[in-house]
Amino acid sequence: MGAMTRRIDIVEVGPRDGLQNDPGDLTTNQKLEFISRLEACGVKRMESGSFVSPKAVPKMADSGEVFRGLDRDSAVRHIALALNEKGIRRAIDARADEINFVLVAGEGFGERNQRMTPQQSADMLATCAPLVHEAGIPLSATISVAFGDPYSGEVDPAVVANLAAQAQRAGVAEIGLGDTIGVATPWNVRAVIDRVRMEAPDVYLRLHFHDTRGAGLANVAAAVESGIDVIDASCGGIGGCPFAPAATGNVATEDVVYMLERAGFETGLDLGKLIETAKWLETVLGHPVSSSLSKAGGFPG
Ligand code: COA
Ligand code: ZN
C-alpha cells in the first residue's frame, strides 16, 4: 500500500488509566521502567501520570516524581491528566508536554469522580485553559462517561456535543470521547462522533474505549471507519476508573495494533515488543493481564 497506508496514532494510557486502579502496586522506578519499555515499543504519545487528589487516587500520588524521572531527550510527548486548577498548576510545574483535562458528561459520575456537574467541569476548563495556554502547553480534554454513566444511566449525545463545543471555545485542540464504563456500541460510536463534529467542527477527535462488555475492538473499528485516527489504549489492557463500579481496562494496545496492522493500517508500534511488555507487566503487577495478543501471539508468526 506504500504511501497510501493510513496512519492511526495510538495514545498509550497504561501508565495513567492503566495503573490508577490496578491492584498491583508499582514503585516510581517500576513506573519509569514501564514508560521506557513503552517508548522502546515505538510509543510517541502517552499519559504518564495524573495530577489529582492523592486521597482520591493514591496510585497516582507519585506522578510528580514520575515526571521528574522522565527521559526528556526522547521524542515522546508525556501527557498529564488534570481536572481542577490545583492539578493544572501541578502539571505545568511538572513540565508536562501536554495536559489532558477531564470533562464529565454525566451527573452521577461527575459527583463521585470529581464533585462537579457536567457544566461545572466545562466552567473549570474555561477557568484553567488560559493558564495552560500561557504556559505554552498543548491542551486536550477527555469527556468521560460520554456513552453512559454508571449512576445516572444513558447520556444524551447533545450533552456531549455541547461540552465539546465549550471545550473548542476554550482553545482545546483535541477532544477524547471516553467510554469510561465500556457501554458503547459501534453504532452509537458513529452517532456520537457525528453529533460532536456538528457542534465542535474545529477540534480533532480521539476515542477512548474500555473493554468492559466485549465491544471494545468493534468500537475501535467503528471509530476508524468514521475517520478517527487517534485511539487511546493501554498495554496489557490494564486499567479502569476507581469511581466506576466493575470497571475494567482499556482496549489493549497490542490487540488494537494487531487488528489495525492486519487490516493494513500503520501504527508505528512494534507488536512483538508490546507483547513482551505486557508479559513483563504481569510479573511486576503480580497477576495476568487481559489482552488477547499476549496469550495468542500475532499472525502470521
Ligand atoms: N492535586 C492534589 N491535591 C488536590 C488536588 C489536586 N489536583 N485537588 C484537590 N486536592 C486536595 C486539596 O488540597 C485538599 O487537600 P487537604 O484535605 O489536605 O486540604 C483535598 O484534596 C480536598 O480538596 P477539595 O477541593 O475539597 O476536593 P474534594 O474532596 O471535593 O475532591 C477532587 C475533588 C476533584 C479533588 C477529587 O475528587 C479528585 O481528585 N478526583 C480525581 C478522580 C480521578 O482521578 N478519577 C480518575 C481519572 S478521571
Ligand atoms: Zn479510561
Query: What are the extents of the domains in the chain?
Result: 3-296
Bridge-partner residues for 77, per DSSP?
45
Place of cell 451527573: 107
Catalytic positions are 241
84-141 residue pLDDT tens? 999 999 999 999 999 999 999 999 999 999 999 999 999 999 999 999 999 999 999 9
What average pLDDT does the segment 209-216 reach?
97
What average pLDDT does the segment 139-166 reach?
98
For helices 118-134 and 157-169, the axis angle rounded to 10 degrees is 20
Question: What nine digits make up the cell of 207?
Answer: 476515542
For residue 50, give the ligand nearest its CA.
Answer: 1
What average pLDDT does the segment 145-159 reach?
98
Q: Is the pLDDT of residue 28 over 80?
A: yes
pLDDT tier at 1, thresholds 50, 70, 90? very low
pLDDT, position 246: 87
Q: Is the pLDDT of residue 301 over 80?
A: no
pLDDT, position 171: 98
Question: What nine digits make up the cell of 209?
Answer: 474505549
Q: Is the pLDDT of residue 231 over 60?
A: yes
Q: Is the CB of 121 under 6 A from ligand 1?
A: no
Half-sphere exposure of 160 (CA within 13 A, CB side): 28
Per CATH, the number for 3-296 is 3.20.20.70
Nearest Cα residue to 199 out of 170, 160, 236: 160
Q: Is the CB of 84 under 6 A from ligand 1?
A: yes
**CA atoms of 230 and 103, how far apart (whole Å):** 18
Instruction: Supply the residue whose CA is at minimum distance from atom 24 of ligand 1.
Output: 53
Angle in degrees, CA 98, 99, 103, rounded to 5 = 145
What is the pTM for the complete model shown?
A: 0.97
User: Who contacts 31 (Cβ-Cβ below 8 Å, separation ≥6)?
Assistant: 15, 19, 62, 66
Nearest Cα residue to 240 out of 252, 228, 256, 223: 252
What average pLDDT does the segment 286-300 reach?
96
Q: Of ligand 1's atoms, which has the minimum distance to the CA of residue 180?
A: 48
pLDDT tier at 240, thresholds 50, 70, 90? confident
Count Cβ atoms below 10 Å from residue 151 Cβ, excluding itself. Answer: 17
Contact, 82 vs 100, CB < 8 A? yes
> Rounded to 10 degrees, what is the CA torsion of 30, 32, 38, 39?
-150
254-278 residue pLDDT tens? 999 999 999 999 999 999 999 999 9
30-78 residue pLDDT tens? 999 999 999 999 999 999 999 999 999 999 999 999 999 999 988 999 9
Burial of 121 (0-12, 13-18, 19+ CB in 10 A): buried
pLDDT tier at 3, thresholds 50, 70, 90? low
